[in-house]
Amino acid sequence: MSKLSRRKFLFTAGATAAGTLIIHGCAANNNPSTTSTTTSAPAPAVNINPADAPEIATATLGFIALTDSAPLIIALEKGFFAKYGMSDVKVLKQASWPVTRDNLELGSGGGGIDGAHILSPMPYLMTLGTITKQPVPMYLLARLNTNGQAISLGKEYLDAKITVNDSAKFKDILLTAKNAGKELKAAITFPGGTHDLWMRYWLASGGTVPDTDISIIPVPPPQMVANMKVGNMEGFCVGEPWNAQLVNQKAGYTALITGELWKDHPEKAFTMRADWVDKNPKAAKALTMAVLEAQQWCDKPENIEEMCKIVSQDKWFKVPFEDIIERSRGNIDFGDGRVITASPIAMKFWRDNASYPYKSHDSWFLTENIRWGYLPADVDIKATVDKVNREDLWREAAKSLNVPAAEIPATPSRGIETFFDGVQFNPEDPKAYLNSLAIKKV
């Protein structure tokens, strides 16, 4: 397999195609240690059979300040990690996805982290060695959420009122701006990550050629809004609360929420270094049980307000509660006059099998990475997914939590997926999907 140049993946906000991006918020610290690990209203410990006790009680996990990291934060704050014997878990804020990657490559023994809240494709790119100094085998233990991201545009496009079905209209607007000499940029959070794939899919569906008609640039999530304010980009794709903050600050509007692009699409994942899991399988199961219980807790309507109050704190997101709460409730103010309440395609942590890591979804992620040239066309998709996706460990954790059989998918495939533009992905035939796409690099 040919290896992509690692340079392509080393962008940070200070050295990116945007050139003049603002740096603010969290410093790029490879070993942040300021996040408190105290818990509130701890869950009572369970009686653990000595034969099932975790090999160790400590683990170091990373997160990015995005609402979909809430299960890791809640698992700590509510004592779910300790409940299952993991009494010394640290959950540390990471400045960007490249920092998360680098700290996972280091591992906690090298001053980094053992696992993380992560963009679902990243464990695959790390395992294949395309974004790391050498291959770093990873396991994907759970999906953390479905839906909950958005593509937002600058306020100069407000009069156009672009929606999910207007990607062709947006192409015409961009072409006019480009012909007038404007340098066009759309921001995503990491090359080959979910936000990159949502942005590229939507633009290409309307005829815009990513990297040719418009530059796709990586920007850390907490820096999206500030860069939009100063005109560094036409739009961005990122998770919450940054789209809501953009609207609340009247600096732009949301063109679409990604559930409109692909209903109940997979998003972030809980990943661990494979060597850590192989060495500590019982501890890995305990961590997964804690995360799954936290996902169940986060998805209960009566807990949403408390969840948002917890994650909004300075030690976690350092974001106003008001920027998090409404979209967490499924109430979407797009900022262009459109408002929907109790959206069925808002972020989900547990319901509708949001936590289960379908292998079929990871097949799509790999196929899209092939589509855009991040992976060579000869990658064995099935073998790679089988190596990284540990849905078997998810099932073990779920059964130990007494999750009802009806909430455990019968197979690791959700079947054929249909996108907003009518395009279908059959996980049994990724090549047919690739051949059907007009715009691609492969």
Task: Give per-residue pLDDT as tens, 91-140.
Answer: 999 999 999 999 999 999 999 999 999 999 999 999 999 999 999 999 99
Q: Say if 162 falls within a structural domain.
A: no
Q: Say if 226 falls within a structural domain.
A: no
The answer on pLDDT for 15 being more than 90 is: no
pLDDT bracket for residue 41 (50, 70, 90): low
Task: Provide the sign of the torsion angle of the four alpha carbons 425, 431, 436, 442, taken in this order.
Answer: positive
3-state secondary structure of 389: strand
DSSP result, 360-382: HHHHHHHHHHHHTTSS-TT--HH
Task: Give per-residue pLDDT as tens, 335-368.
Answer: 999 999 999 999 999 999 999 999 999 999 999 9
Joined tokens for residue 219: 């920007």
DSSP result, 193-238: SHHHHHHHHHHHHTT--BTTTBEEEE--GGGHHHHHHTTS-SEEEE
The answer on pLDDT for 13 being more than 70 is: no
The answer on pLDDT for 48 being more than 90 is: no
pLDDT for 51: 83
Average pLDDT over residues 161-165: 98
Q: Which residues pair with 237 in a beta bridge?
A: 151
pLDDT for 46: 78
The answer on pLDDT for 50 being more than 90 is: no
pLDDT for 21: 35
pLDDT for 28: 33
The answer on pLDDT for 322 being more than 60 is: yes
Q: Which domain holds residue 279?
A: 50-145+265-332+351-412
Q: Say if 67 falls within a structural domain.
A: yes
Task: Give per-residue pLDDT as tens, 63-81.
Answer: 999 999 999 999 999 999 9
% residues pLDDT > 90 (the chain): 88
The answer on pLDDT for 60 being more than 70 is: yes
Task: Give per-residue pLDDT as tens, 250-299.
Answer: 999 999 999 999 999 999 999 999 999 999 999 999 999 999 999 999 99
Q: Say if 95 falls within a structural domain.
A: yes
Cis amide leading into 222 (omega within 30): no
Q: Say if 212 falls within a structural domain.
A: no
Q: Which H helix or E strand runs over 271? A: strand 268-273
Q: Say if 22 falls within a structural domain.
A: no
> How many folded domains does the chain comprise?
1
Look at 3 and 41; give whichever has higher pLDDT: 41
CATH of the domain at 115: 3.40.190.10
pTM of the model: 0.91
Q: Say if 439 falls within a structural domain.
A: no
pLDDT bracket for residue 172 (50, 70, 90): very high
Q: Say if 358 falls within a structural domain.
A: yes
3-state secondary structure of 339: strand
* Closest by Cα among 180, 178, 155 to 231: 155
Task: Give per-residue pLDDT as tens, 187-225.
Answer: 999 999 999 999 999 999 999 999 999 999 999 999 999
* Closest by Cα among 202, 223, 226 to 214: 202
Please report which residue ranges of 29-166 form alpha helices under DSSP H: 70-77, 80-83, 97-106, 122-128
